[in-house]
Structure 1
Amino acid sequence: MSCLLGQCQIDVATLAKAWIGPGCHLLAKVAAVLTKRASLESIALAGLLVLSGCDHTVGPAPAPTIATPEVKQELNTSTSASTSPQPVPDESRRESDRIENVSNADSADAESIDTTLETTSIQTNAEVDGLTELDVNLDADPTAPSPPDPTATTEPAYRLWIPTSMGPLLVGLDVLIDDQPLREAFDQKLSMVRKAIGATEELQPTWDQLLEHVAGDPATFGQTASRVNGQEKMLIKRYDRNKDQRVDDQELTRFLFRDSNVNGEFRLFGTDAFRWANRSESPLFSAIDRNQDRKLDATEIDLAADALLREIDSNADQCIDFAESSRGRQNDNDAWRRNRSNRQGNVAMDLSGFVNWSDLSYAMGGLLEETSVLGPTNPVRSLDANRDEWISAEEAESVLGIDPAFSITVRFVSGEPVISTEVALTDAAESTTTIEQGADRCWIVGTAFQVGVTTSDTPTTGNRIPREVFRQLDADNNGAIDEGELPDVAKEQFPLEQLDADGDGKLSFMEINQTLGRKQSIWNVQVRGRAAEHPDAVFAWFDVDHDQFLSHREIVSVPERLHTLLDKSGTVPATKIPDTLMIQFGRGQPDQDEMRFEINRSDVSGTDPRPSWAIRMDANRDGDVSETEFIGPIKTFRGLDTDQDHFLSAAEVLEEH
């Protein structure tokens, strides 16, 4: 046996091809070193390392061989009957090449490993002696999946690239529709449409089939359905790109979602219209800056609250909403026009679908020297692999492997007005920021920068009929609508043959809405987003509770907050005020996007827990009762105002109540 082992040189690295996984480079090196000792126990230990220390889930590799001076015999005799060599898959070939490189490691590596083994010889010998006690299941299926790693992190479905006034920001995003990933819901809906128009794997549907189906189903296709009749030839000419009179998958998606100009389930748009101007040109900053020198001195700061109420509070309710603050600003009437909302990297964009990495690399090159945003480093700096102070297209594409500063999860629930937004920060960002979570919004607040994430959902607007409309159509007031009562335009919107569930030739109120409610609009599975600086970052920073409304309490606190920003010259320039980024998501009919993405006060229509007397006294509905609003002796007010801030908060009046 020893003679045989002395003559044979077992290629352990080659033997390892059949067993080791991608993470076993070191074990292969150790096994190779052990075999150099030409001893039985070393070879046994090498085999032990290969069998017990590696992941066997890798697919089969080429059959390993034993090499002797006289013969080269295939170990896997089950394939010896084949007279022609089998092709090696590319992945197996790459793995084989990688393992060969490991086995050919330089002698210095081998010596360092050998030295380490000398210090642990007693331990390894004990392991060899106890070989029969090892729980090694050689009959296990090598293709069975490994158990999930509880510490592993999942990659976000989408990555958002967002340049800001402070520097670039990388954000991860997941979107769920009724707990189903957005991409799956989108593909599933398109599959249902294909099936409905008769598409098969062998045969694509005709354009006539598609247009007829869309025109007859307004509940699913919304306004798209109403713009088909009479325009068939024009639509086919425009969207039948290959002119074969049949609808392929890309043509179907482009046609169905043409109103949004988004040929997929998600798209993020950006604009630079508010960058920098959202502070220096803020009407609020201008109102405080009495001498208009573009910086606030101590005296101007002390008088800031009075200046805001005098110059901005147009309805004299001691509060300022966003509409009031916008009246004095020169708005860009088309801030989101195409040339300011491109996909070249200088404004926010998602990194899914087609990305022109050359364009993006050019934009990234100009951001190398920017500071970090909500993280320890500028992510662009880590892309410059060769340290040439420029970003190539290949380096730009490697951004897909960088951890985002934070990740967002947006959940839409169909049939209910439920939206939830969750944010997870990286460890580095968590140490310098706080998260303020709401139902449909979330704020990430840092010392020099803050991010607001909001969502809007209008998924079923076209899939319900109001009772008032039903009553108007029900001319004979018998509780049902027959075909004669339906005007021509309504026949397209409410097709009798599709909505008449019981087949009695009439449509009841419940029948219409139940049938329409079961139809998922295509716009339920497409989400659009916008990301840009807040139109007025000064307003956003004064708005402590982030409800897009400056309460009397917040206005009064402005001088104190501004004093914390004084520089060495004793002034506060506009650029010293922290900037605010808004990331907004919404779904629904595209024609509602302008309203969907407006900056409006958060919904305050919920139940007010305060006693009725406090609600009545709160004339401006800002959530507090001020001294001027309080009806009663000032002594009583001060007794209730336990923190002596001149406002009665909800907590104070509830405590007294």
Structure 2
Amino acid sequence: MRAFVSTFVLASLVIGIGGCNQRVAQTPPPKPAPPVVAKTIVDPLDLISLEDMAEPQAGLPFKLEPYVTPQRLLVFTSHGPIRVDVLLWIDDKPYDHALEELVDHVLTLADANQDGKATWEELANQPELRSGQFGNLSFEDPRQRKQNIDRYDTNRNGWVDRAEVPRMVSRSSARTEAFSVRRTSYAVNRSRTDSPLRQLLDENGNGVIDHDEITSAAHRLRLRDLDDDEIVTPMELITSSGSSMDDMTRRGDRRRFFGGQGMFTLDDNTPWNDLLYAMQENYERGGQLQLDKFPKDNLLHTIDADGDGVLHRDELPKLASLPPEYELTIRFGGDLKEQPRIAMVPFKKSSAEPITRTDEVAVNLGSDWLVFRTRDNVSSEFAHQQAENLLQIYDGNRDGYLEESELPEQGTNINFALADKDEDEKLYVEEIEASLLQRNWIQRCHIRLQGIDGDDPLFRAIDPNRDTRLSARELQQLKSQLSQMDVDQSQSVEFEEIPALLVFEFFRGDQDNNPVVPQLYSESQDATATSNLTPEWFQGMDYNGDGDISLREFLGTPAQFSELDADHDGFITDAEVLSHPNLF
């Protein structure tokens, strides 16, 4: 169905739609025509409007959705690069459409005298832009004003061209789109090297978890259970190792840009020489890229046009036309009750099925775990509640609106005069909400992608339920889990046998350079779900909430424990309790 809709829309859509991938050719001097201030989103053949495409159409048994221009990624893994297409949504609209609305609004502001010519001088004079109310760089200072105009008016014609607006909203003089990919280094080996758990288990420091270390691993981890609750958390591992949280959280950021690049976007601006260099550095330590080291089903074999088994620069552009192995959908804002924030589907029958959590999707590639996350610091969906909170806090006389004397601009970042659109010297909750939404409009349309460090790949491998803690049952199974990693049956786990971890985060909002690493350092406090029929005494005894009752937790007699523990694995589950309803 997706293929049908995509084909229909692509065949019908006039190639003039703006957005992240738009490339506008500039008219050469002496004097190009001024840009026309008009919307560029065109209805395909005027048959179905973009708004109507989200609704069921008469005579059609399915719901049409707007076409989403994919962001094509090439991600480097241990066994070679893979293709991932990313579909971005903002507030229930395709990313391109949401960005176009912002561009249209900025161009309208730039045509203050409504003569049909959008100029940078007019735009810089607009109060919203001049004071940075959109989240853009301020134009208040005369020197800053000139620097901003010089930075964004790339063709120096004085007019605000559509292709120049995304530069301003992304605060970038080098990019033409508001979706940006930050440079990220290849993290396969680094994720293994930096694994705190690997370092802890490798007691003799020889880089290998040998047979004796595998045997003693569970005992050594139990010694890190500082609160003696039969649960070992990452925080306890860090605390007992003597490492400071500051060092652990910043280490990845300091090293993120060392080594070959780990990801590229595939489009008209892809630096193919850089891409080839990165692959040679990642896979051949700078040597010529030989295809015989990659699995036969890797996409690199399909672009070897001359069949010589070596990849050359002129063969790389074909990567952009290859079908993706996975399609990743990311939704920021909007109604997330019906649609998940993040979802990924495989496009090849042989591809592994992704595992999805609220803000994360992960796929086991065998030697690697590939993880995508979202982080949203623009709370557009909470703007109304924020506006009501501000009204409640600052409305001192409780008359239902804010006067200028009641609203401090410092701390709220709301300019009273700009927010008071009807100039009645009163700010009602709707005007406050509109000001909040305008203030983060640019941030809502600026999405960044970056690889992040910090997660422990070995910890993830031995924590199958991904609750970011090791239960007594998981510790009991630890020797078996480590032994399963011993692919070559050498009675030890070598460096390369530890799964690597590649984590990429889509985020919007703040301009920080140190993205949060939530999985390793934040603990899950949710108890494991049990049946509604499970008796209350079970949950009462399960004081650490791991879904099992150990012998230490059990308050009955050893004989009763043995009778309930039907499989004699040392734990009582809710299923085993339900099979003995009359024992208590």
Please confirm whether the aligned pair reaches a TM-score higher than 0.5, indicating the same fold.
Answer: yes
Alpha-carbon separation, structure 2, partners of 1:201 and 1:654:
78
Alpha-carbon separation, structure 1, partners of 2:443 and 2:74:
24
Secondary structure at the aligned position of 1:429 is classed as coil
Q: Report 1:532-611 matches (<5 A).
A: 535-566=455-486, 567-591=488-512, 594-595=515-516, 599=520, 601=522
Matched positions, count: 501
Q: Report 1:102-141 matches (<5 A).
A: none
Please tell me the root mean square deviation across aligned C-alpha atoms, in Å. 4.3
**2:420–2:426 Cα contact (<8 Å) kept:** no
**1:168–1:379 Cα contact (<8 Å) kept:** yes
CA displacement at 1:341 relative to structure 2: 7.4
The residue that corresponds to 2:231 in the other structure is 319
Q: Deviations over 1:293-320 (max 9, x none)?
A: 3222333212211112324x45544334
Structure 2 residue 272 is the aligned partner of structure 1 residue 357: yes
Alpha-carbon separation, structure 1, partners of 2:171 and 2:519:
23
CA displacement at 1:398 relative to structure 2: 0.8
Alpha-carbon separation, structure 2, partners of 1:421 and 1:630:
40
Q: Report 1:492-503 matches (<5 A).
A: 493-496=414-417, 498-499=419-420
Counterparts in 2 of 1:424 and 1:522: CA distance versus 1, 3 Å: same
The residue that corresponds to 2:551 in the other structure is 627
**1:499–1:516 Cα contact (<8 Å) kept:** no
Q: Deviations over 1:469-491 (max 9, x none)?
A: 54442233444321121234368
Using the TM superposition, name which of 275-284 and 187-196 deviates more. 275-284
CA displacement at 1:284 relative to structure 2: 1.4
Secondary structure at the aligned position of 2:317 is classed as helix
Which of residues 157, 160, 163 in structure 1 aligns to 2:76?
163
Alpha-carbon separation, structure 2, partners of 1:196 and 1:416:
32
**1:450–1:579 Cα contact (<8 Å) kept:** yes
Which of residues 498, 507, 513 in structure 1 aligns to 2:433?
513
Unaligned runs of 5+ in 2: 1-10, 12-46, 48-59, 284-288
Q: Report 1:52-63 matches (<5 A).
A: none
Alpha-carbon separation, structure 1, partners of 2:173 and 2:555:
53
Aligned residue identity for 1:591: D
Secondary structure at the aligned position of 2:305 is classed as coil
Q: Deviations over 1:191-247 (max 9, x none)?
A: 22212332789522223534534347877x23x36x443343443354444455443
**1:159–1:172 Cα contact (<8 Å) kept:** yes
Counterparts in 2 of 1:579 and 1:349: CA distance versus 1, 3 Å: same
Counterparts in 2 of 1:266 and 1:201: CA distance versus 1, 3 Å: farther
Alpha-carbon separation, structure 2, partners of 1:532 and 1:371:
30
Unaligned runs of 5+ in 1: 1-56, 58-143
The residue that corresponds to 2:89 in the other structure is 176
**2:70–2:86 Cα contact (<8 Å) kept:** yes
Aligned residue identity for 1:354: N
Q: Deviations over 1:356-388 (max 9, x none)?
A: 112222334564447888x85232233221134
Alpha-carbon separation, structure 2, partners of 1:253 and 1:455:
22
Alpha-carbon separation, structure 1, partners of 2:94 and 2:293:
31
CA displacement at 1:254 relative to structure 2: 1.9
Q: Report 1:146-295 matches (<5 A).
A: 157-198=70-111, 203-210=117-124, 212-215=126-129, 221-222=134-135, 224=136, 227-230=138-141, 231-258=144-171, 263-269=176-182, 271-272=184-185, 274-295=187-208
Q: Deviations over 1:394-442 (max 9, x none)?
A: 2111111223332212233426587432222233533xx3432333322
**1:618–1:625 Cα contact (<8 Å) kept:** yes
**1:547–1:601 Cα contact (<8 Å) kept:** no
Secondary structure at the aligned position of 2:123 is classed as helix
Counterparts in 2 of 1:650 and 1:323: CA distance versus 1, 3 Å: same
Q: Deviations over 1:596-650 (max 9, x none)?
A: 7775558666996666555554444445444333444444445554544434556
Q: Deviations over 1:105-160 (max 9, x none)?
A: xxxxxxxxxxxxxxxxxxxxxxxxxxxxxxxxxxxxxxx9xxx9x9xxx9971221
For the pair shown, which has the larger CA radius of gyration, 1 or 2?
A: 1
**2:457–2:499 Cα contact (<8 Å) kept:** yes
TM-score by length of 2: 0.72
Aligned residue identity for 1:544: P
CA displacement at 1:541 relative to structure 2: 1.2
Alpha-carbon separation, structure 2, partners of 1:517 and 1:533:
32
Structure 2 residue 361 is the aligned partner of structure 1 residue 442: yes
Identity among equivalent pairs (%)? 25
Counterparts in 2 of 1:511 and 1:194: CA distance versus 1, 3 Å: closer
Counterparts in 2 of 1:365 and 1:377: CA distance versus 1, 3 Å: farther
Alpha-carbon separation, structure 2, partners of 1:514 and 1:544:
45
The residue that corresponds to 2:406 in the other structure is 485
Secondary structure at the aligned position of 2:82 is classed as strand
Counterparts in 2 of 1:471 and 1:421: CA distance versus 1, 3 Å: closer
Counterparts in 2 of 1:590 and 1:321: CA distance versus 1, 3 Å: farther
Aligned residue identity for 2:426: K
**1:167–1:371 Cα contact (<8 Å) kept:** no
Alpha-carbon separation, structure 2, partners of 1:403 and 1:591:
34
Which of residues 303, 320, 338 in structure 2 aligns to 1:400?
320
**2:371–2:504 Cα contact (<8 Å) kept:** yes
Q: Deviations over 1:531-561 (max 9, x none)?
A: 4676422112112123443334333322111
Alpha-carbon separation, structure 1, partners of 2:168 and 2:456:
37
Aligned residue identity for 1:565: M
Counterparts in 2 of 1:600 and 1:289: CA distance versus 1, 3 Å: closer
**1:177–1:412 Cα contact (<8 Å) kept:** yes
Secondary structure at the aligned position of 2:72 is classed as strand
Alpha-carbon separation, structure 2, partners of 1:603 and 1:249:
46
Q: Deviations over 1:139-190 (max 9, x none)?
A: xxxxx9xxx9x9xxx9971221112333322222222234432122222321
Counterparts in 2 of 1:525 and 1:236: CA distance versus 1, 3 Å: closer
Counterparts in 2 of 1:334 and 1:291: CA distance versus 1, 3 Å: closer
CA displacement at 1:584 relative to structure 2: 2.3
Aligned residue identity for 2:370: V
Q: Deviations over 1:43-97 (max 9, x none)?
A: xxxxxxxxxxxxxx9xxxxxxxxxxxxxxxxxxxxxxxxxxxxxxxxxxxxxxxx
Alpha-carbon separation, structure 2, partners of 1:252 and 1:633:
73
**2:419–2:432 Cα contact (<8 Å) kept:** no
Alpha-carbon separation, structure 1, partners of 2:77 and 2:406:
57
Aligned residue identity for 1:582: V
The residue that corresponds to 2:444 in the other structure is 524
CA displacement at 1:333 relative to structure 2: 3.7
Alpha-carbon separation, structure 1, partners of 2:505 and 2:293:
22
**1:158–1:350 Cα contact (<8 Å) kept:** yes
The residue that corresponds to 2:263 in the other structure is 348
Counterparts in 2 of 1:504 and 1:539: CA distance versus 1, 3 Å: same
**2:550–2:571 Cα contact (<8 Å) kept:** yes
The residue that corresponds to 2:27 in the other structure is none
Counterparts in 2 of 1:158 and 1:491: CA distance versus 1, 3 Å: closer
